[in-house]
Structure 1
């Protein structure tokens, strides 16, 4: 079924809302190339004119929440943090926070009126943790890993690596130094973060897979097919012969990419790989079902391996 964002806006849609919805779906920030299939150029230009989306530089778009959060943090003498900090760094998130997320020092009294306007975290921050009123890249990733669900935190850590604002060595050092409540959650995110994930969609799918015992899906693993062709599915468990694809036209570049994806799927199946495909809506809104599919996929793959081993033993 064709995605609603690829269709003309519904009657009564406010100017600019189509662009805003597309950017939210793409992780809160987007390039013109990512938006090309979703929003006509003139509608995107109109959204910028109306202030519904921001264009900080050519070819780059983000939601106005970034500026709103900075202004509120300044008013409260707070620091932009968590998902709001990730967006300020230009990273993609699974979910744009419904309220600005900020951090204040321990002991700061927060009025009910303030709490109604922002999500306030209380935590001690060193000067080195803050850059221009925003938690720095490493502190942002660690805080998100400590306080957010796995899928949200992994999407942010992946984006930080993908943008090269952090490198694996930074996360390894942080894993060695991390202390305090939530340490196991932080270590889990830091150990599984990968810049190979193309977008939050793939990151969230991998986070779901991490909760499936016996499954070891890794991002962007190359597979050499029988004819010598090399393909790179989104997630691969080489030991079980499972390939998982995050299928969504938001991240395709047109008919040529769709043709390539179909060819890759067919060739993998013919080469005896078990291929499972999930849409963005399934991953974001039906994670329990996605996990159930992956659980059954893992069981089927192991059962198949046992049957093959038994047949060879009796050959």
Structure 2
């Protein structure tokens, strides 16, 4: 299940080339044969439940929405839902059997807000996700939309036009969104970092004098945060390459913290605690030394 696990870490969608780089050609082909991953199109792979979601929505006479619609648009998400999100008209009666195969939402959706006849359109999908999802999931969707070509002006339009409950949250997440973010793992780490006073990280900043672009960088604190996925660090060659890379950052004056996918996704309090402690440590080191030390 290594390929499926890597695909889940990548947000449910990935190209064949990326999966092969993270695992191997043999493992990817084996996962395809076993049905652990499926091909959506030439060179574009997904977890099986991503492909079956549209059929479920059609059977329920509804449309994919929320993170299921995001996946339909080709945007990676923090966690691929076990059951697709399906929105049906407000007066639709849904049986308990149907509720067992989908998370049902009710709304009036205009025809122009439906994409490909099966999912909410780009702007409505962004609005639903940014309004209703937890902050980290919402940011992962917004980052991914920008990464895959949604114009920043579209996201700004969604944020400016929203009214009512959750509108402040929509505008806040939209303002944070960055297309430079590499994947949902990195987006979720950045969201946690945004809650730490004194910490301001940006994605994929090139370190001065090098070709390295770490996942997240706080230039003022000379701090690097790396979102370490097992798929890219699971053999001796990768271990040596990464050790050399991290050593190069450290000897050039950067503090480097590495976070596992499981901690970022499921133990955010631990991650936040580490970040708060490192910010405090950097601040303490920056304090002027006491008088007797300075006179020594």
TM (normalized to structure 1)? 0.83
Q: 1:134 matched to which residue of 2?
A: 119
Instruction: From 206, 215, 224, give the equivalent of 1:234.
Output: 215
Matched, 1:59 2:43: yes
Structure 2: how far apart are the matches of 1:310 and 1:130? 69
Structure 1: how far apart are the matches of 2:27 and 2:229? 22
Structure 1: how far apart are the matches of 2:90 and 2:223? 48
Structure 2: how far apart are the matches of 1:22 and 1:244? 20
Matched, 1:157 2:118: no
Q: 1:266 matched to which residue of 2?
A: 247
Matched, 1:289 2:289: no
Change beyond 3 A, Cα 1:52–1:270: closer
Q: What SS class does the counterpart of residue 194 from structure 1 fall into?
A: coil
Change beyond 3 A, Cα 1:234–1:21: closer
Q: 1:97 matched to which residue of 2?
A: 81
Change beyond 3 A, Cα 1:111–1:222: same
Instruction: From 97, 100, 122, give the equivalent of 1:113.
Output: 97
Q: 2:162 matched to which residue of 1?
A: 178
Once the two structures are TM-superposed, the CA of residue 153 in structure 1 deviates from its matched residue by 1.5
Aligned residues: CA RMSD: 2.8
Aligned residues: 294
Structure 1: how far apart are the matches of 2:128 and 2:291? 49
**C-alpha contact 1:104 1:121 (8 A) present in aligned 2:** yes
**C-alpha contact 2:136 2:191 (8 A) present in aligned 1:** yes
Unaligned 5+ segments in structure 2 are none
Once the two structures are TM-superposed, the CA of residue 252 in structure 1 deviates from its matched residue by 6.5
Structure 2: how far apart are the matches of 1:206 and 1:92? 16
Q: How does 1:28-107 map to 2 (within 5 A)?
A: 28-37=12-21, 39-107=23-91
TM (normalized to structure 2)? 0.88
Which moved further from structure 2: 209-218 or 50-59? 50-59
Which moved further from structure 2: 286-295 or 105-114? 105-114
Structure 1: how far apart are the matches of 2:253 and 2:291? 18
1:123-175 deviation per Cα after TM superposition (whole angstroms, max 9, x unaligned): 232323211221122221221111111111111111111111x1222112221
Unaligned 5+ segments in structure 1 are 1-16
Instruction: From 259, 266, 278, give the equivalent of 2:259.
Output: 278
Structure 2: how far apart are the matches of 1:153 and 1:310? 49
Matched, 1:192 2:176: yes
Q: 1:14 matched to which residue of 2?
A: none
**C-alpha contact 2:144 2:179 (8 A) present in aligned 1:** yes
